C-alpha cells in the first residue's frame, strides 16, 4: 500500500499509528470545501492559492444551524435598515422654520411632529446595532472555540463565515450612508433640546415615551461616532476578547486576519474571481476585507499595519487600488480614518504613502 502524498504537511501525520487512518484523514481533509487550511499552511505556493470561500452559496451544516439560525433572524432585517437609512431625509426645513420663528406655536408643533417619527427610526437603527453586536459575539464564540483553529473553523463552517462577512458588509454600508447624512445628528440634537425645554416647562411630550433620557444618552453617543456600527463591532470584539480570558487573543485576531487573506486572494486571483456568479460579490469581498482589517487593527495589541501583522496590508491596499477609483474611495477612507494604528511609528512609510 502506498502512502498518500500531499503538497503540504498537515500536522505531524508521521506519528499516526495507522496507515489507513492517515489515508482516511488526509482524504477527508482535502474533501472539505475551500481547501483553505491547505493553502494557508502550505509553503509551496508555486501553483498559486488553491481555495475558495463560497460567500454566495454556503449552507449551514447540522452543527452550525443553532448559531446560524440565531444570526439569521438579525440579518434578515439588515436590508430593510439600509433602505430606511438611505431614504432618511430629515426634518431640516421644519427645524429651521421653528428656530427662526420661536414664538410661532404652529411651526414649533410642526417641527416636533416631523422629528418624533424620525427619532423613532433612529431608535430602530440603534436597537439593531445592539442585535448585530449580539450576533457578532455568537459568531466569534463559534469561530474561535477550541479544539479547532480559527482557520479550521472558517473551512469547516463556511455558512457562519459567510454570516460574519455579511455583518461586516452591512456595517460598512451603514456607516457610509450615515457619514453622508448630517440630518441624522441635527434631528436628534433638536429632539433632545426640545424635549429638555418641554420638561423645564412641564409640557407633556408625545415622543418622550418613545425614547427616554437614558436611551437618548446612549443613542447620542452612538450617533456622535463617525462610523457608529464599526465602533459597535470593534467594542464588541474587544469585549469578547476580554471576557474570554481562557481563549488566546490569537484565536480572535487569527480569525480576522485569515478572513482578510481569503478575501484578498479571491479578489486578486482571476481563477477564483471568475467563479463569482453575482457581480456584487466583488464589492462584498472588498468591504469584508476592509472591515476585518479595521476590527483586527482595533483588537490586536500592535494592530494591522505593523511588520508583525498577519495581514498583508500592502497586498490588500493594492487590491483596493486595482478597482475602479470611484468604487473604493469610501473603503480607502475607512482605512485612513477609522483604523487605530495607521499613524503609529511602526507603520512603514510605504504603507502610509499608499494610503495618502
Is residue 49 in some structural domain? no
C-alpha cell at position 147: 479544539
Is residue 311 in some structural domain? yes
Given this model, what pLDDT does residue 10 score?
Answer: 37
Q: Could you tell me if 160 and 72 lie in one domain? A: yes
**Per-residue pLDDT tens for 171-223?**
989 998 998 899 999 999 999 898 888 777 766 666 555 787 788 899 999 99
Under 8 Å between Cβ of 185 and 193: no
How far apart CA 129 and CA 184 sit, in angstroms, is: 16
Is residue 134 in some structural domain? yes
Is residue 185 in some structural domain? yes
pLDDT, mean of residues 23-48: 38
Q: 183 is in which domain, residue-wise?
A: 58-227
Q: Could you tell me if 218 and 84 lie in one domain? A: yes
Q: Where are the alpha helices (DSSP H) in the chain?
A: 19-31, 36-41, 65-75, 78-86, 92-100, 105-144, 150-156, 158-179, 183-200, 213-224, 228-243, 249-268, 270-273, 280-299, 313-321, 325-337, 349-354
- Does the predicted model carry a pTM greater than 0.85? no
Give how many domains the chain has, as a whole number.
2
Q: Could you tell me if 214 and 284 lie in one domain? A: no
Least confidently predicted of 34-38, 130-134, 272-276? 34-38
pLDDT score of 22 more than 60: no
Is residue 240 in some structural domain? no
How far apart CA 150 and CA 134 sit, in angstroms, is: 20
pLDDT greater at residue 108 or residue 45: 108
User: Between 105-144 and 78-86, two packed helices, what is the crossing angle to 10 degrees?
Assistant: 150
Q: Could you tell me if 207 and 71 lie in one domain? A: yes
C-alpha cell at position 313: 496590508
Q: Could you tell me if 218 and 282 lie in one domain? A: no
Among candidates 274, 119, 108, which has minimal Cα distance to 191? 119
Q: Could you tell me if 78 and 141 lie in one domain? A: yes
Given this model, what pLDDT does residue 271 score?
Answer: 83
Q: Could you tell me if 203 and 74 lie in one domain? A: yes
Phi, psi of 306 (to 5 degrees): -70, 160
| Residue 93: CB atoms within 10 Å | 12
Given this model, what pLDDT does residue 9 score?
Answer: 38
* Residue partners of 35: CB distance under 8 A and separation at least 6: 50, 51, 52, 155
pLDDT, mean of residues 77-91: 95
How far apart CA 179 and CA 182 sit, in angstroms, is: 7
Q: Could you tell me if 216 and 304 lie in one domain? A: no
How far apart CA 325 and CA 206 sit, in angstroms, is: 47
Q: Could you tell me if 126 and 162 lie in one domain? A: yes
Matching residue, cell 442585535? 131
* Residue partners of 276: CB distance under 8 A and separation at least 6: 56, 282
How far apart CA 33 and CA 29 sit, in angstroms, is: 9
Amino acid at each position: 500500500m502506498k502512502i498518500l502524498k500531499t503538497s503540504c504537511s498537515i500536522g505531524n501525520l508521521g506519528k499516526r499509528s495507522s496507515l489507513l487512518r492517515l489515508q482516511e484523514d488526509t482524504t477527508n481533509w482535502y474533501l472539505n470545501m475551500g481547501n483553505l487550511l491547505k493553502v494557508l499552511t502550505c509553503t509551496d505556493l508555486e501553483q498559486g492559492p488553491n481555495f475558495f470561500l463560497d460567500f454566495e452559496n454556503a449552507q449551514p451544516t447540522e452543527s452550525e444551524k443553532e448559531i446560524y439560525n440565531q444570526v439569521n433572524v438579525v440579518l434578515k432585517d439588515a436590508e430593510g435598515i439600509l433602505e430606511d437609512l438611505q431614504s432618511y431625509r430629515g426634518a431640516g426645513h421644519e427645524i429651521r422654520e421653528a428656530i427662526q420663528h420661536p414664538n410661532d406655536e404652529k411651526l414649533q408643533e410642526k417641527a416636533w411632529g416631523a422629528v418624533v417619527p424620525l427619532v423613532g427610526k433612529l431608535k430602530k437603527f440603534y436597537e439593531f446595532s445592539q442585535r448585530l453586536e449580539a450576533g457578532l459575539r455568537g459568531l466569534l464564540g463559534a469561530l474561535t472555540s477550541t479544539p479547532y483553529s480559527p482557520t479550521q473553523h472558517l473551512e469547516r463552517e463556511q455558512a457562519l463565515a459567510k454570516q460574519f462577512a455579511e455583518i461586516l458588509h452591512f456595517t460598512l454600508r451603514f456607516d457610509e450612508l450615515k457619514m453622508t447624512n448630517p440630518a441624522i445628528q441635527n434631528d436628534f440634537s433638536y429632539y433632545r433640546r426640545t424635549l429638555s425645554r418641554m420638561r423645564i416647562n412641564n409640557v407633556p411630550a408625545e415622543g418622550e415615551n418613545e425614547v427616554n433620557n437614558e436611551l437618548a444618552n446612549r443613542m447620542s453617543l452612538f450617533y456622535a461616532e463617525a462610523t457608529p456600527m464599526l465602533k459597535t463591532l470593534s467594542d464588541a470584539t474587544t469585549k469578547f476578547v476580554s471576557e474570554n480570558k481562557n481563549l488566546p487573543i490569537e484565536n480572535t485576531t487569527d480569525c480576522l486576519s485569515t478572513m482578510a487573506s481569503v478575501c484578498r486572494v479571491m479578489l486578486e486571483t482571476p481563477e477564483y474571481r471568475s467563479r463569482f456568479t453575482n457581480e456584487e460579490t466583488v464589492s462584498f469581498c472588498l468591504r469584508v476585507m476592509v472591515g476585518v482589517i479595521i476590527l483586527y487593527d482595533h483588537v490586536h495589541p500592535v494592530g494591522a499595519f505593523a511588520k508583525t501583522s498577519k495581514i498583508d496590508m500592502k497586498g490588500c491596499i493594492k487590491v483596493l487600488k486595482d478597482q475602479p477609483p470611484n468604487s473604493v474611495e469610501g473603503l480607502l477612507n475607512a482605512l485612513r480614518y477609522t483604523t487605530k494604528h495607521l499613524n503609529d511609528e511602526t507603520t512603514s512609510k510605504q504603507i502610509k504613502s499608499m494610503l495618502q
